[in-house]
Structure 1
């Protein structure tokens, strides 16, 4: 049976550009999952910068996945301390987190995927 993945996509705003950013993130994460044989169990799309952690925790409460896939760590939170807290919480529950692009891909070019 394929591992189940939860995709996290996050941007601020609800305008056309923000919606396109979300679509691009979901598309890239879905392709990442397909390439690895993961079944996409759910998608969390967040458009408010203060709701990412809440939305993720609600999805985690529902369960049904073994891995979280996001474009990069900033999709979980832009705050490094909050990122670390979320990652530690996920790991403590046996949930892996994988990123489509390397956190160091500041130049915008894709890098090999990484696991956190």
Structure 2
């Protein structure tokens, strides 16, 4: 699994560029606290890299979820909509937000690997 990270605390697993998986990081869910609501994008919606693609709300705050790369949403995590706490309990697996078909896979090159993301969050 080749996971990349954004400075806005999203992760993307682009092993399959036709259905790359997007979610929020452990750091993001820690900062938010208990997630109580998620607003997921519509299947078929298209986003440019950095566009707001959804919202996550917690008992402490609300935060935008950004599209880490440009593309079209091909699936959303209905289980997350039904149980937003999955973003807290399993943010890197069951708590994923949406899958996106990448329109420009070369954008991956500008995202951080785990080492760079860890350095960002530790700083």
TM-score normalised to the size of structure 2? 0.28
Between Structure 1 and Structure 2, the one with more strand by share is 2
Higher helix share: 1
Q: TM-score, length-normalised on structure 1?
A: 0.29
